[in-house]
């Protein structure tokens, strides 16, 4: 049986795992990145639709407030490849029509509630508690609530307000919102390639055992891998399953993280087949979708693309296409590409901040690192921050600090 030794093995090739592999390789650690899909990126998933035109199935944008990410991109020599996303407004789809957001707001209610912004505190509040107080219940129900659900691609009401819109300083020398040619998946692929870590795609970890030197991983194809440190950078549920036989209490803790699914469908059409003017996207009010994000933000003369992020389990493909036809006023039969995927995102409730403390404290002395979007927040920069925190702990454990 083939046996290979690594100082660090990272399971999960989304941005969290790629960031950890980059940091470890940069510090000279012999590192292996394992991913079960045949591609890197996880929720950074760019689908090549037609003639060089791509659509995003998961995340759409990075921002110049993502300082940790920008530092990594600079170290990988990717900063010159960034392309700016044009600023374009979103519309609300409400009552069977596309409406501008201001036209759906009650300004009287807004004016009477907005002064509360001066004294409002996010600590201990849910998203709904905090934002409803600032914009008023009607404005929250009609506009801001659906907009925040669209930001998270999840019901946002019960999420701790502290996890939403963290204050971060902007790097003005970079575009305010950016992507890469080919889409955001190229970001994960570019970081991994520049880092030079060993990578295995399309592999499934069968069993994880612990021994005196670290961990032993048995892959489904019979290979055995040994490592001194192990990093799990998968959704919490997948990490829970993999750790059940080796760290049962921690696995139980990870299994408590609530997750939701998002069914995403992207449709690409020739420019002439869409009458609707260029648009940033659409937010659904009482609709089966959270948002429809447009590709118009990156200019293309030939094609237009729209990714609808649907609530799970409500519509089959035919009904999704009928919904898209209704919202965009297009004929799906004229599309040149349709692509579907399912994403998983954490959906934390008010108990989550306490959960983070309870989970991270016992980890302290274990040669096990946990990265992902179920700690400080789901934004790509939150994943980068968590990877940096865990890398600092790895440095301590490895006795290098």
Taking the least distance from each CB to ligand FAD, the nearer of 66 and 132 is 66
Q: How far is the CB of 177 from ligand FAD (least distance, A)?
A: 9
d(CA 287, CA 311): 9
Taking the least distance from each CB to ligand FAD, the nearer of 253 and 264 is 264
d(CA 359, CA 222): 32
Q: How far is the CB of 40 from ligand FAD (least distance, A)?
A: 7
Taking the least distance from each CB to ligand FAD, the nearer of 330 and 345 is 345
Q: Residue 348 in contact with residue 373, Cβ under 8 Å?
A: no
User: Residue holding tokens 């549920």?
Assistant: 237
Buried b (16+ CB within 10 A) or exposed e, 221-254: eeeebebbbbbbbbbbbbbbebbeebbeebbebb
Q: How far is the CB of 33 from ligand FAD (least distance, A)?
A: 9
Taking the least distance from each CB to ligand FAD, the nearer of 29 and 238 is 238
The residues with which 99 forms a beta bridge, in sequence order, are: 92
Q: How far is the CB of 234 from ligand FAD (least distance, A)?
A: 4
Among 288, 277, 361, 283, CA closest to 318: 288
In Å, what is the CA distance from 206 to each residue of 1, 233, 242, 245, 267? 15, 16, 8, 11, 36
In terms of DSSP H, where are the helices of 232-365?
236-243, 248-254, 317-328, 352-363
Residues 248-255: contacts with CB within 8 Å, 24+ apart? 249/362, 250/359, 250/362, 250/363, 250/368, 253/355, 253/358, 253/359, 254/359, 254/370
Taking the least distance from each CB to ligand FAD, the nearer of 38 and 272 is 38
Q: How far is the CB of 361 from ligand FAD (least distance, A)?
A: 21
Taking the least distance from each CB to ligand FAD, the nearer of 9 and 104 is 9
Residues making contact with ligand FAD (CB under 6 A)? 11-17, 34-37, 42-44, 58-61, 153, 205, 233-235, 238, 242, 262, 264, 309, 343, 345, 372-373, 378-380, 383
Q: Residue 34 in contact with residue 11, Cβ under 8 Å?
A: yes
Kind and range of the H or E run holding 131? helix 127-135
Taking the least distance from each CB to ligand FAD, the nearer of 137 and 237 is 237
Q: How far is the CB of 180 from ligand FAD (least distance, A)?
A: 13
Q: Residue 352 in contact with residue 56, Cβ under 8 Å?
A: no
Q: How far is the CB of 272 from ligand FAD (least distance, A)?
A: 28
Q: How far is the CB of 110 from ligand FAD (least distance, A)?
A: 26
* Terminal Cα-to-Cα distance of the chain (whole angstroms): 36
Taking the least distance from each CB to ligand FAD, the nearer of 12 and 183 is 12
């Amino acid at each position: 049986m083939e046996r290979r030794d690594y100082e660090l093995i990272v399971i999960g090739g989304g941005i969290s795992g790629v960031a950890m592999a980059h940091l470890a390789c940069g510090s000279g650690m012999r590192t292996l990145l394992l991913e079960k899909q045949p591609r890197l990126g996880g929720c950074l998933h760019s689908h090549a639709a037609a003639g060089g035109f791509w659509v995003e199935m998961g995340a759409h944008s990075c921002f110049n407030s993502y300082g940790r990410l920008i530092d990594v991109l600079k170290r990988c020599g990717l900063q010159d490849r960034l392309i700016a996303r044009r600023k374009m407004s979103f519309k609300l789809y409400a009552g069977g029509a596309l409406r501008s957001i201001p036209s759906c707001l009650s300004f009287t209610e807004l004016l009477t509630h907005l002064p509360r912004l001066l004294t409002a505190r996010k600590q201990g509040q849910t998203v709904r508690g905090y934002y409803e107080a600032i914009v008023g219940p009607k404005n929250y129900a009609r506009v801001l609530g659906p907009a925040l659900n669209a930001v998270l691609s999840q019901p946002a009401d019960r999420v701790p307000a502290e996890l939403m819109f963290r204050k971060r300083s902007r790097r003005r020398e970079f575009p305010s919102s950016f992507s890469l040619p080919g889409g955001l998946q190229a970001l994960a692929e570019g970081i991994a390639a520049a880092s030079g870590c060993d990578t295995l795609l399309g592999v499934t970890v069968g069993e994880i055992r612990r021994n005196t030197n670290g961990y032993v991983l048995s892959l489904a194809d019979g290979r055995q891998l040994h490592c001194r440190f192990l990093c799990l950078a998968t959704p919490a549920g997948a990490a829970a399953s993999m750790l059940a036989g080796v760290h049962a209490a921690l696995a139980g803790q990870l299994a408590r993280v609530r997750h939701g699914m998002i069914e995403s469908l992207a449709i690409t059409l020739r420019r002439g087949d869409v009458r609707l003017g260029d648009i940033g996207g659409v937010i659904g009010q009482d609709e089966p979708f959270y948002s429809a994000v447009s590709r118009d933000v990156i200019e293309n003369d030939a094609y237009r693309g729209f990714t609808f992020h649907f609530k799970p389990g409500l519509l089959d493909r035919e009904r999704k296409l009928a919904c898209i036809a209704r919202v965009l006023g297009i004929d799906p039969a004229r599309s040149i590409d349709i692509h579907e995927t399912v994403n998983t995102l954490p959906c934390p409730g008010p108990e989550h901040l306490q959960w983070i403390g309870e989970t991270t404290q016992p980890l302290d002395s274990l040669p096990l690192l946990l990265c992902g979007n179920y700690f400080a927040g789901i934004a790509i920069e939150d994943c980068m921050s968590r990877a940096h925190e865990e890398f600092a702990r790895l440095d301590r454990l490895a006795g290098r600090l």
